[in-house]
Structure 1
Amino acid sequence: MNDMEKMLIHRCKKGDLTAYEILISNYEKKVFNIVYGLIGNEEDAKDIAQETFIKAYRKIKSFKEESSFSTWIYRITVNTSKDFLKKDKDTLSIHELENEIGSRAIDNPQEQYERFEEGQQIRELLENLKEDYRNVIVLRDIQGFSYEEIAKILDINLGTVKSRISRGRGQLKALLISGKYKI
Structure 2
Amino acid sequence: MKAINKFNGIVCPLNRVNVDTDQIIPKQFLKRIERQGFGQFLFHHWRFDDEGNKREDFVMNQMQYEQAEILVSGENFGCGSSREHAPWALLDYGFRVVIAPSFADIFYNNCVKNGILAIRLTEEEVEEITEKAEEPGYRLFINLKDQDITDRKGFVADFDIDPYWKEMLLNGWDEIAVTLNLDEEINNYENKVTAGQ
TM-score normalised by the chain length of structure 1: 0.26
Greater strand content: 2
Greater helix content: 1
